[in-house]
Structure 1
Amino acid sequence: MKVGKLDSELLEKIVFSHIKFRRKEVLVRSGIGEDCAVVDFGEYALVMSTDPITGAANEVGKLAVHINCNDIASNGIQPLGLMMTILAPEKTTEKEIDQIMEQAASEAAKLNVEIIGGHTEVTRAVNRIVISATAIGKQLKSSIVRNSEVKIGDKIIMTKTAGLEGTGIIAHDLEEKLSSTFSREIIEKAQKMVEYISVVKEGVIGGKIGASSMHDVTEGGLLGAVWEICSASKVGCNIYRDKIAISKETEEICKFLNINPLKLISSGTMVITISPDKEEKLIKELKKSGIDASVIGEITVTGKYLIENNREFEIESPQSDELYKVI
């Protein structure tokens, strides 16, 4: 099997197919394009999401917090708690675990999120540190955002730039390799991209204004996130390549490594779909909060296409992330 998360076909075949028991309290359950599970608790619902960090040697504590809290934000709410499991290989030092927890605690506090539990273990089962975390939030049932409720004609908006997280990870982990080709300025700018991987602000704004769906761009990159949203709602899309924001650092590093920035993990970038009558208000509110955003396409009846130089290229289901080709 390929390195990276399982593709949608395999998920359906060997994972989802086995989950047959259902409880009436579960309002949103596992599925392609859904970032969170939602459980009925009366007037409110409990929102939960879980993700591991496996592809980064540096900043793992910081990344573990943000990638999980970002999923809660994709439901339009502020996360409130986080549980973390740390699996470390035998040669791990106390200093390394201390650094991870210092990072995680600092980033969680910035988001007003409490680390409420977890597990820490040294094990021969891994050859590098693996962190798996679960984030939770509380939401009024009347405000639940489902990625399966996208409408034909909705505008597709992306925040920040494509390949954000992947560029930051590569610049940290392959610093020596990159330094032979790129200036210190470019490498440092790329490394600083991990400072912008939270989408909690845009998620809360999108929830208030009435986004029809939101999806944090993780493995599979921007095109993978768009494909998953469309598949969840059984719709199509047109995405315009010239509307997609990509930083100079990402463009140059991806070209050097021969990887596609549109298929590179990008926590910190959020894809939002919203009705045309709310599009302008959403972009205005995002920019008021210091978040760059742009319309990159629209939802159509069928067919998922990236349009570049007046040519249509079919957007395929996400495969192994481009990050794993170089790290």
Structure 2
Amino acid sequence: MEVGKLKNEALNDLVISEIHMIRDDILIRPSIGEDCSAISFGDMACVLTTDPITGSGSQIGRLAVHVCLNDIASSGAETAGLLLTLLCPVGTEESEIKDILHEANETANLMGVEIVGGHTEITAAVNRTIVSATAIGKTSIQNLIKTSGAKAGDYLYLTKQAGTEGTAIIATDKASELADVLNKHELLTAQEMISKISVVAEGRIGSRVGVHAMHDATEGGVLGAIYEMCEASGKGCKIHIDKIEVHPITEKICEYYHINPLKLISSGTMVMSIDKENASALERALLDADIDYSRVGVVTDEMTKKLIMGDSSVEEIFDEIESPEADELYKVIK
């Protein structure tokens, strides 16, 4: 099998098909594209998500926190606590473990979240440290948002720019290789993009203005996230490729490594689906919060997911958005 998370078809066949529904208090169950699960407790929902950090060798404590908080935010919930599991290779120094936990705890606390437990182990089963995080959030059931909630006619928005997380990881882990591609200022700018990977603010805004669906763009990039949201919702879409923002430095890095920035891991970008009547309220709220955004397309009843070139009067199909393959990052970080 290929490196990276399972393809959607394999995930359905090997994992989701083996999970059976036996309880009536489960609000969100595993399915393609859903960022979280949720369990009812009276009028409140406990929202949960879990993710490992496997594609980066640096800042893994920070990444582990943000990736999980982003998933919780996409459900419209607030994260309260995190559980961290560290699997460290033989020979790991105590200072390395301390640095990872310090970074993770500092990041979590800045976001108003506590680390409430976990597990740390030295094992010959890994050749570098793996951090896996589980986040626990809460929201009222009536405010719970699903990835599968997009409706035909909704506008689709992307916040910030495509490939942000991937750009930061590559610029940090491959800095010496990029010395002839980027100048010192560009390299530093790319590395500092790691500070822009949170979408917690977008999640709060989306919940407040009444979005129908949100999805954090992680592995598979912005196109993978759009595909998964539409697939989960049983809908299609028309996406104007020229409306998707890509930072010039990301374009340089992707051109050098011959990878597609729209399929590069993109934590920091939230995909948001909202009806036309409330779209202006979403735009105003994002502007007030100083969050860049672009309206990139529309949700359709037709199940095909099309990339479009040209304006609304002269549209031309550029390509169809396919089920995401292994993330472009794995072509660079091996």
- The bucket for the TM-score relative to the shorter chain is over 0.9
1:246-290 deviation digits (Å, cap 9, x = unpaired): 101101110011000000001111000000111111111012112
Alignment-derived partner of residue 191 in structure 1: 191
Match of 1:316 in 2: 322
1:148 Cα deviation after fit: 1.7
* Residue of structure 2 in register with 1:305 after alignment: 306
* Aligned partner of residue 49 in structure 2, secondary structure: strand
- Equivalent residue, structure 1, for 2:77: 77
Give the structure 1 partner of residue 36 of structure 2.
36
Structure-1 separation of matches of 2:80 and 2:293: 26
Matched, 1:249 2:249: yes
User: 2:49: which partner in 1?
Assistant: 49
Deviates more, 1:61-70 or 1:278-287: 278-287
Q: Can you list the C-alpha shifts for 1:300-322, whole angstroms capped at 9, x where unaligned?
A: 11210111353331100001000
**8 Å contact from structure 1 (residues 283, 294) kept in 2:** no
**1:170 partner amino acid:** I
CA offset digits 1:125-171 (Å, max 9, x no partner): 00111111110111101111122221100000000000000000000
2-side partners of 1:110 and 1:162: how far apart?
A: 25
Q: Distance in 2 between matches of 1:23 and 1:305?
A: 38
Cα shift at 1:21: 4.0
One-letter amino acid of the structure 2 residue matched with residue 88 of structure 1: C
Where does structure 1 differ by over 4 angstroms across 4 or more consecutive aligned residues?
none
Does the residue aligned with 1:175 lie in a helix, a strand or coil?
Answer: coil
Does structure 1 conserve the Cα–Cα contact (< 8 Å) formed by 2:47 and 2:77? no
Contact 1:237 1:305 in 2 (8 A): yes
Q: Which residue of 1 aligns with 2:152?
A: 152
**TM-score, L = length of structure 1:** 0.98
Per-residue displacement from partner, 1:68-123 (whole Å, max 9, x unpaired)? Answer: 00000001122111100000111211111111111101110111001000001110
Matched to 1:242, the amino acid is D
| Matched position secondary structure for 2:15 | helix
Query: Is the contact between residue 162 and residue 244 of structure 1 (CA under 8 Å) also seen in structure 2?
Result: yes
| Residue 43 of structure 1, CA deviation | 1.1
The aligned counterpart of 1:14 is 14
Q: TM-score with structure 2 length normalisation?
A: 0.96
The 5 A counterparts of 1:269-284 are 269-284=269-284
Return 5+ residue gaps in structure 2 as ranges: 311-315
* Partner secondary structure for residue 152 of structure 2: coil
1:243 partner letter: K
Matches of 1:95 and 1:178, distance apart in 2: 29
Q: Percent identity?
A: 49
Q: CA deviation at 1:180?
A: 2.4
**Secondary structure at 1:211's aligned position in 2?**
coil
Unaligned runs of 5+ in 1: none
Task: After TM superposition, list the pairs within 5 Å mapping 1:142-291 onto structure 2.
Answer: 142-291=142-291
Partner residue in 2 for 1:99: 99
Contact 1:89–1:122 (CA<8 Å) still a contact in 2? yes
Residues paired across the two proteins, number: 327
Q: Distance in 1 between matches of 2:43 and 2:69?
A: 22
CA distance in 1, matches of 2:269, 2:213: 14
The CA RMSD measured in Å over matched residues stands at 0.9
Q: For the Cα contact (< 8 Å) 1:76–1:145, is it kept in 2?
A: yes
Cα separation, 2, equivalents of 1:234 and 1:106: 40
The AA in structure 1 aligned to 2:113 is V
Could you tell me whether the CA contact under 8 Å between 2:236 and 2:305 is conserved in 1? yes
Whether contact under 8 Å (1:171, 1:191) holds in the other structure is yes
1:154 and 1:275 in contact (8 A); partners too: yes
Contact 1:265 1:322 in 2 (8 A): yes
Question: 1:111 matched to which residue of 2?
Answer: 111
Quick check: 2:181–2:253 contact (8 Å CA) kept in 1? no
